[in-house]
Structure 1
Amino acid sequence: MELMRTSDAVTTLGSLIESQIPTFLWGAPGIGKSSIVKQIAHEAGIECIDLRLSLMDPTDLKGIPFYEAQTHQALWAPPSFLPREGRGILFLDELNSAAPAVQASAYQLILDRKVGEYTLPEGWAIVAAGNREGDRGVVYRLPSPLANRFVHIEMEVNVDDWRDWAYTRGIDARLIAYIGFKNSALFGFDPLKNERSFATPRSWEAVHMILQSPLPAPLLLEAIGGAVGDANAVDFLGFCRVMNLLPDIEAIMRGEESETPSDVSALYALSSALVSHILRDPKDEKIDHLLRYTLNLQSEFSVMIIQDLQRRGIRMDHLNSYGDWVNAYAYLLC
């Protein structure tokens, strides 16, 4: 199965959901499988019901039998968490970690859109997700008839997609800069190593939350190491010390003359700090000052900053300084 970058997986999955084609999303732990399903539901304005099948018994899906006195028959009382109306995504997370008996109940729901006395409403699509068999998780091989009911998508980690996501979510600029500088740090899961803490997009999001917490600075190393591993924590905090030596961002945004660093790590840090500032406060005056400042940066970083902003909807083509910027870097934009 060919690996698909996150942005392509979102587009493909969105189309399959709209067409109500059952889809199975595969990928390593912590790369954001659950997040993109919820993101698609949120952007489409529909509901998403997340069922962790690895925590369920067969009767949790099928319901509990009861005696119907009038008909003298045994009927199944369907669970209350299954949808009755509207539109949405029924997300069967960790499907291949569920016990075979639970998978059997899910198979009926996926195949016939019903289980026991319950029928899935017309407006609902089914999406499943799970870790790969080589990821050292608790998984059961999907039975061939069940696997054949899905369109299978396997996600890979992509740094550019993660940076796009991080900017839109307001992730700490130091993290965005560090991952931009050291791409390999974004994902470090190795199923052959017995590590409790390792770097994934999910664990770096946890680092963001640690940085926003009131945790005293002397304890940051241990806490961040507990999320992404000790080596990554040491490297990241060393990078943060570089960021502390950057020019004054506010002074740049006021149009004051400011120095331009030459160190590559400092330039990555500066680029992310500038983009994050404009995204928080996209005033024309600040964008104008930013454009003029970037004319003095190394060309690849100047282009990276402006393209990062344009990808996130920041307009600047109406500014005179943008014309100067385009003239300066036209040879890189062809």
Structure 2
Amino acid sequence: MTFSTLLPADPSAPAPALSSPALSSPAGASPAGSRLALAGDLLALLRTTTTEPRPDEQLEALTLAVAADLPVLLWGEPGIGKTAALTQLAASLDLPLTTVIASVHEPTDFSGLPVVGDDPEVLGVPMAPPQWAVELVRAGRGLLFLDELSTATPAVQAALLRVVLERRVGSLQLPPGVRIVAAANPRASAADGWELSPPLANRFVHLYWVHDREVVVRGLGGVWPRAELPRLAPERLTEAVAFARRAVCGFLEARPTLIHRLPTSETRRGGAWPSPRSWEAALTLLAFGTAAGVSREVLALLVRGAVGDGPGLELLAHLDRMDLPDPETLLADPAAAELPERGDLRQAALEAVVAAVGARPERARWEAGWAVLVRALETGAADLLVAPATALAALRRDDWEVPEAVERLTSVVGLARRADRSVERAAAAAGSRRTVAGR
């Protein structure tokens, strides 16, 4: 096509001849049909994209939950790319995609339509499943995508309970190779939306889908991130299950009130909240994440999506404490003490050492505590020592001599305290200036 063919046609000029074979109409085809064929070719080029391996925490969390065979619910504003992500996920995993718009179906489309047979008194009345469920069973595997879940009526949501949890549609049992993912818009941005019922919400792992600028720009350029199932390390499976059970059970023993806590507000009941069912999902996700070696950020998305933000963050903090070194081991050999690199974990380990000395205060243990603090000074930041050093000093008995290790810490602690006081004085002076200026 030449540039002149893109210009408006001159009504007085004769029509140009179609000399290019690509622009010539097929035998028996009208000019309009040929132009539509060219438009189809252009659309095909626009829709042709490729994928690439690219770190994407949202996609990694989604694929891990799918691998764990847990129902997932993607929350996001309209147009954010939830449907596109599910389409690409099905293609990457080579799973047939079955999309069911929940809001345009009746409850019988999920619970089954009663069909009276020849002898209902003997055979009963079977609940006939819809066509899409029959096709899933025939395929033996697939990705069932329940879209627009937040616009489904309460009656439809009730009918979906068995589909999501038991994988039953009418009298039909979906095969183990079928995975379930749903999508919903927040009620405020949904067309005639409803809050999710608590029983249905508690069956899902909730992931909140947001757009990533770089992913969107690169994707519109024709390259999207590739969804891949997590690579589970075979030698870590047993260890991962034991770790997940120890972590969740230990946490719930310490926080029994979080075993089941139904939120008070209707909106929060439609999201993730803790129950024995959702804790089981969190345990499963923790085992899969450990076996796959996922990042803490991905694990946080999954755990919070299963039991809610508050309980999920508490469980993650509990996992950190599980990784802390034993304070008695540190006190037994301070010179070889291995302290965490991360600042908050290092300070927690030092505070545990001080607490252990306080629980059994003896001079040798008190001196070993100071040796651990010196070891911390040699291997990390000094500002983390102020609080534990102050607490350890308060444990001194009158007949205990001050060890030489304290001298190595005196200047550091004093300098840190002077710095803190300087910051406080600067903040107070700034506040006074703002007060004067406001007058």
Give TM class, smaller chain.
0.3 to 0.5
1 or 2, which has the higher strand percentage?
A: 1
Q: Per chain length, whose mean CA-contact separation is higher, i.e. which structure has more relative contact order (CA < 8 Å, sep 6+)? A: 1
TM-score normalized by the length of structure 2: 0.36
1 or 2, which has the higher helix percentage?
A: 2
Rg (Cα) greater in structure = 2
